[in-house]
Structure 1
Amino acid sequence: MENFKFLQLIKHLCASLIFLFLFQPQAVKAQEQFANGADIGWLSEMEDRGYIFKNDSGITKNCMEILKEKGINALRFRVWVNPSNKYCSKQDVAYMTHRADSMGFKIMINFHLSDWWADPGHQNKPAAWATHTITELNTDVYNHVYDVLDTLKSLGVTPKWVQIGNETNDGMLWEDGRASTHMNNFAGMIKSGYNAVKAIDTTIQVIVQLSNGHDNEMFRWMFQGLKDNGAKWDIIGMSVYPYWAGLPWAEDNNLAMLTMQDMITRYNTKVMVCEAGYLYNQPVEANHYLLDLIEKTKSIGGLGVFYWEPESYNWQGYQLGAWDPVTKEPTVALDAFLGIYVTSVSQEENVISDFELYQNYPNPFNPVTNIKYELRHQSHIKLIVYNSIGEEVNILVDGVKNAGEHLTEWNGRDSDNHILPSGVYLIRFITDENTSTKKAVLLK
């Protein structure tokens, strides 16, 4: 009997151990966080020139903080070899990435491998490398990439991603690295950059980026050529700009998604949208485009979407930012990173029920604009006058107003009571819930 009880005990213990072994919780590999990204290579120069940035509440803040509020978790910075000024230099990028890293952003470094802009139509060698042989150029690429990343490492900054070349549709470091005539040379340059990155940290992911995400044939040609010539990469990156593609955004996004799917299938690679953008003055359309692009990229396992220079406003003529030049606030385009689908800038339920301007021009002796507005309910409002380049010239109203109709007059003067010159001015009506803008023509 004792032996029987002992055998039964052993049997139960074994059964319990088998159960625990079979049903113990299994470790689940954490899914990589999707990169809601922004390229802000212009930011340091804009800050130095006195540009300010406001959040949705009109509060002036650090631009990076505002981007974080909009759901941005990754920032991209470009590096030029020997730029004519300090911007986009190794020192500038070290300063900016250290700031970004301290705020918790993931970092992408984009090596243009030029002294200035590199893009599909411009891939000029740095002046210091102009006469170098292909062997020397490969060494130049390795040393430059290693030097910049080593500098960042000394500051405690390790990028998540490093891009070798910028929009290299036909290679880089022309003519030696032109892919259509010297694919083997271009592949060697990519390999040199890849090796330099991995010498710093093997966990950094290396990107090769082309523009025109809609052009699948170009991507096939390029990456098959790189593969056949021994190049290495971790991620295939692309640019998706409906504006430059000349396509409706829905079509451009769909074609880019098909290209990403094809690259994943053909080369067992990861994919990412490294650049995206839409006209700043079409913020609702931009929101829809960006939200759709993010959803499509996620649907095929893409790693992220980066908006190119969203902080730019009234800057070098660039029109595809996501900042309002009048309010100096981000447009609703960036709400896509928060998963918000915007139907219109002014919703029907907003506090403003009427906002009209009445001007008495062409009377040259009485340049007055009467501003009539009606509120659905009590609200704090501001009426601000801006000139045509977005500079604030006068605050007409700043306070709480009751529901109902109101009338305010602008006499064509600035906040110091100086007479303003003739021209086009913008009158911005700001409430707790929304904003509206009207154009006024001042004639004297």
Structure 2
Amino acid sequence: MRRRSLLIGSAAVALGVAADPPAAQAAAFVKGADVSWLPQMEAKGYYWNNSAGVRQDLFTILKGYGITAISLRTWVNPSSDPANGHCGIEETAQLAQRAKNAGMQVLIGFHFGDTWNSVGVQNPPAAWAGMSYSQMLQAMYDYVYHSCNVIKYYGVTPAWVKIGNETNSGICKPTGSISKPAQMTGLLNAAYDMSKQVFPSTPVLVHLAQPQNLASVQNFLNAYRDNGGRWDITGLSSYGQGGNVAPIVANMKTIQTSYGKPVMQVEYGGPVGKPTQVRDSLKAFVSGIKGFGGLGTFFWEPEGYPSFNNYNSSAWDEATRRPTVAMDGFL
């Protein structure tokens, strides 16, 4: 393992700050939500009512639905754009601390970019774009080591760390493209190793999208495994609805069985205008994933009002500020 040569910021210098004991992987099925937009929405005056129409802290409302875990994304050098920026490690750590203080487990998700990376886009941070592979490898060691120490400084031991976001085609392309599997694996293993150095007992996830396309997921996992890739849990995104859920769950089971790693659905959501459909599909995912021994399900940004983010995937009615029946899928 190469040694890190970095100057850690003030937030990470105090490594002796008391933190949680190492997080044990919860035996109970995890019900979670990604609420990374929360601070930016609050700063713009948005708020949330509970099902009775009473304004409450969002974490309090979520806990009422049995949600015990919060997923938070983080970007390397993000812009100040409210919907497509923020989420730098300092802000992410502060929100993680707030979630911890609300009694929630925390999943930290590294995108390894300055804004969204997803199944169709895997752009490196601008500061890394001109680097050679060896330079990028060192940057990955430094970045993840520093970021995990910032999280630790804020007194949070994540229950999970996710290295990459929907990485079917690789990370930090073209350097870490799946067409260069040894380099892709090297970058992700650097992230895995640094996460384990700071949080030895925290499981690390890789994250693939669209398990309905089983070959795409297997293509990544085969390349990663065959090049010595290290991971503890396979994270999967699926926004499947209705009759699509059952075959997707069957593929998730195949993925868990084939690679010997437990599966967690780290993203789910659906149209805000079809809350009954979203509820019933969520119930089907929860029961199906439970049925084959999967670990949990996370709803992606249920609090995200369309007027803020221009997305149609939400579980809150913007007119009433109340949760829709979609959230009942967790009950």
TM-score by length of 1: 0.67
Q: What secondary structure, in the 3-state scheme, does the structure 1 residue paired with 2:108 have?
A: strand
Distance between the aligned counterparts of 2:278 and 2:257, measured in 1?
30
Match of 1:66 in 2: 61
> Do structure 1's residue 209 and structure 2's residue 207 form an aligned pair?
yes
Q: Which has the higher contact order (CA 8 A, sep 6+)?
A: 2
Match of 1:411 in 2: none
Deviation at residue 319 of structure 1 after TM alignment: 0.5
Distance between the aligned counterparts of 1:287 and 1:252, measured in 2?
14
Q: Is the 8 A contact 2:242 2:280 kept in 1?
A: no
Q: Is the 8 A contact 1:40 1:311 kept in 2?
A: yes
Distance between the aligned counterparts of 1:222 and 1:94, measured in 2?
30
> Do structure 1's residue 330 and structure 2's residue 320 form an aligned pair?
no
Distance between the aligned counterparts of 1:284 and 1:254, measured in 2?
17
Q: Is the 8 A contact 1:310 1:321 kept in 2?
A: yes
Distance between the aligned counterparts of 2:235 and 2:245, measured in 1?
14
**Cα-to-partner distance string for 1:126-179 (whole Å, 9 max, x where unaligned):** 111111111121221222111111111112100011111101110010111111
Distance between the aligned counterparts of 1:251 and 1:131, measured in 2?
45
Deviation at residue 202 of structure 1 after TM alignment: 1.6
- Aligned to 1:295, which of 287, 290, 308? 287
Q: How does 1:60-99 map to 2 (within 5 A)?
A: 60-85=55-80, 87-99=86-98
Name the one with the larger strand percent. 1
Rate the CA distance shift 1:269–1:280 in 2: closer, same or farther, 3 A. Answer: same
Deviation at residue 31 of structure 1 after TM alignment: 6.8
Percent of aligned positions with the same letter in both sequences? 35
Match of 2:160 in 1: 161
> Do structure 1's residue 34 and structure 2's residue 29 form an aligned pair?
yes
Distance between the aligned counterparts of 1:92 and 1:282, measured in 2?
33
Match of 1:377 in 2: none
Q: How does 1:223-372 map to 2 (within 5 A)?
A: 223-242=221-240, 249-313=241-305, 314-338=307-331
Q: How does 1:189-200 map to 2 (within 5 A)?
A: 189-200=187-198
Match of 1:127 in 2: 126
Distance between the aligned counterparts of 1:194 and 1:96, measured in 2?
22
Q: Is the 8 A contact 1:219 1:259 kept in 2?
A: no
Q: Is the 8 A contact 1:205 1:235 kept in 2?
A: yes
Unaligned runs of 5+ in 1: 1-29, 243-248, 339-444
Q: What secondary structure, in the 3-state scheme, does the structure 2 residue paired with 1:36 have?
A: strand
Deviation at residue 75 of structure 1 after TM alignment: 0.4
Deviation at residue 203 of structure 1 after TM alignment: 1.1
Rate the CA distance shift 1:31–1:189 in 2: closer, same or farther, 3 A. Answer: closer
Q: What secondary structure, in the 3-state scheme, does the structure 1 residue paired with 2:254 have?
A: helix
**Cα-to-partner distance string for 1:305-336 (whole Å, 9 max, x where unaligned):** 00000001122211011000111011111111
Q: What secondary structure, in the 3-state scheme, does the structure 2 residue paired with 1:315 have?
A: helix
Distance between the aligned counterparts of 1:100 and 1:298, measured in 2?
25
Distance between the aligned counterparts of 2:26 and 2:206, measured in 1?
23
Match of 1:442 in 2: none
Match of 1:14 in 2: none
Q: What secondary structure, in the 3-state scheme, does the structure 2 residue paired with 1:76 have?
A: strand
Distance between the aligned counterparts of 1:102 and 1:290, measured in 2?
27
Distance between the aligned counterparts of 2:180 and 2:86, measured in 1?
31
Moved more, 255-264 or 145-154: 255-264
Distance between the aligned counterparts of 1:236 and 1:290, measured in 2?
19
Distance between the aligned counterparts of 2:250 and 2:239, measured in 1?
15
Distance between the aligned counterparts of 1:271 and 1:138, measured in 2?
27
Q: Is the 8 A contact 1:110 1:166 kept in 2?
A: yes
Q: What secondary structure, in the 3-state scheme, does the structure 1 residue paired with 2:205 have?
A: strand
Q: Is the 8 A contact 2:109 2:165 kept in 1?
A: yes
Distance between the aligned counterparts of 1:140 and 1:71, measured in 2?
39
Rate the CA distance shift 1:184–1:252 in 2: closer, same or farther, 3 A. Answer: farther
Q: How does 1:15-34 map to 2 (within 5 A)?
A: 32-34=27-29
Deviation at residue 57 of structure 1 after TM alignment: 1.1
> Do structure 1's residue 56 and structure 2's residue 51 form an aligned pair?
yes
Match of 2:144 in 1: 145
**Cα-to-partner distance string for 1:173-222 (whole Å, 9 max, x where unaligned):** 0111111x211111111111110111012211111111102111112111
Match of 2:41 in 1: 46
Which residue type is aligned with residue 317 of structure 2? D
Q: What secondary structure, in the 3-state scheme, does the structure 1 residue paired with 2:176 have?
A: coil
- Bigger CA radius of gyration: 1
**Cα-to-partner distance string for 1:233-272 (whole Å, 9 max, x where unaligned):** 0011111112xxxxxx244322222222212222111101
Q: What secondary structure, in the 3-state scheme, does the structure 2 residue paired with 1:93 have?
A: helix
Distance between the aligned counterparts of 1:31 and 1:57, measured in 2?
31
**Cα-to-partner distance string for 1:319-362 (whole Å, 9 max, x where unaligned):** 01100011101111111111xxxxxxxxxxxxxxxxxxxxxxxx
Q: Is the 8 A contact 1:44 1:87 kept in 2?
A: no
TM-score by length of 2: 0.89
Moved more, 125-134 or 251-260: 251-260
Q: Is the 8 A contact 2:246 2:284 kept in 1?
A: no
